Amino acid sequence: MSSLNDFFEKVISVKVPEDYSYIDILDQTLLPGTIKRIELRTREEIWEAIKRLQVRGAPAIGVCAAYGLALLASYIKEETYDAFYKAFITEKEYLASSRPTAVNLFWALNRIDATAQANKDKPVEEIKQILFREADAIREEDVQISRNIGEIGFELLKDLKKPGKEIGILTHCNAGTLATAKYGTATAPMYMALEHGWAPEDMHVYCDETRPLLQGARLTSFELYNSGIPTTVQCDNMASILLKSGKIDIIFVGCDRVAENGDAANKIGTSGLAILAHHYGVPMYICAPSSTIDMATPTGEEIPIEMRDHDEVTAMWYKERMAPEGVDVFNPAFDVADHRLLTGIITEKGLCTAPYGDAFRALGIH
C-alpha cells in the first residue's frame, strides 16, 4: 500500500502550498519523458496551462480552475464587496474562455462564484480565504468521487474475475490520476483493485494511443506502467482487431460532458470505440463524476466541440512536418458516444443504465 501511495504522490496533477501562493501542477505536455512540476502564479499562466493541456482531464481542470480563481481573487485590491466582485467576475470570465467543452471548468468556476456571493456580507479579506477553502473542498470531494466510481467499477471487475485468467481492460485517452485529484475515473477501478489486495497481474490494460495528442500513450500508459499493472499501448485504429480477438472483457473511459439522455462527449475516438464495442458485444462504461452530467443539455447534438490547432496533427510530434504545408486539417478535440451504444454510466452516486435521464434524476442529479 505504501508503494501505491508513493505512486499517487508522484503523479498528483494539482497541488497548492499551505499559503496558497501559487498552483503547483505536473506539466502533462512533457510526459512521459520529463517529469516536471511548474508553479502558476499569474492569470495568463493559469489560462495557458488549461488551454495548452499542461493540466488536463475534466476533474483536474475543475480543481485547477477553482484554485486559479481563488488565487486571482486574492490579488484584487478593491476593499468594498461590489468593487471586488466586479473584478472577480472579470477574472472568472477570463478563465472560462480557456476551454469550451469541459463542463467541470464552468462548474468549478460557478461554485467559487456562488461561494463569493454567499459570503458578500463578510469582509473582502475573509472572503478571499473562504474561496481557497472552497477550492480545497472541491479537491477533497473529487478524491472521494473517484474512490466511489472506482468501487463501483471494481464490483464489475470482481464479476469478471476467473482463477488463473487476467481481466482484459481497454481504455481511451487519460482519465487517470493525472486527470483528477487522485485515482482517476476510468482508472479508478484498477487502482481500487490494487487497494483491495489484487495483484497487478490480475489485470491487463490496453491503452488506445489516442491521437493526435497521444494521451493514452504518453499519460495512461505512464500511470499504469508505474503502478505495476501490465500495460499495452496500441494505435487507435487497432481497437477493432483487439476487440475481435476476445482479449478485452470490459471497457472503461472517462468523459468531459454527459447530456441528459446519456450521450457522452469524450476525447476524439471514443465514439468509434463505442461503435466497435457494441458490434463485438464488449461492455463499455463511461466513468462520469456527477459534475460532468449536464442536465440542461438534452442530447449530445447540443454539446459544443472544441476545434484545435492544425499543427497537433501535422507537426507537433514529428521532427519533420508529416503533411503538405498549407493542407487543411480537421482536428476536433472530442466526439460524442451515442447513449444507445453504452452499457452504463458510472457516477459516484451509483451505476446508471438507460433511460439515463431517469436514472440521473433517481440519483438526485438535476
Of 214, 250, 258, nearest to 234 by C-alpha is 214
Burial 167-178 (b: 16+ CB within 10 A, else e): bbbbbbbbbbbb
Of 254, 224, 212, 300, nearest to 104 by C-alpha is 254
Of 173, 206, 192, 127, nearest to 348 by C-alpha is 192
Contact 334, 266 (CB under 8 A): yes
- Letter for the amino acid at 83? A
Contact 210, 186 (CB under 8 A): no
Q: Quote the strand ranges of the chain, DSSP E.
A: 14-15, 23-26, 37-40, 167-171, 203-208, 231-234, 250-253, 257-259, 264-267, 284-287, 293-294, 334-337, 344-347, 350-352
Residue 193's φ and ψ, nearest 5 degrees, are -60, -40
DSSP 210: -
Given the C-alpha cell 477493432, which residue does it identify? 240
Q: Which of 113, 256, 294, 335 is catalytic?
A: 256
End-to-end alpha carbon distance in the chain: 37
Contact 53, 25 (CB under 8 A): no
- 152 grid coordinates: 463501483
Query: Is 263 assigned a catalytic role?
Result: no
Residues annotated catalytic, as ranges = 256
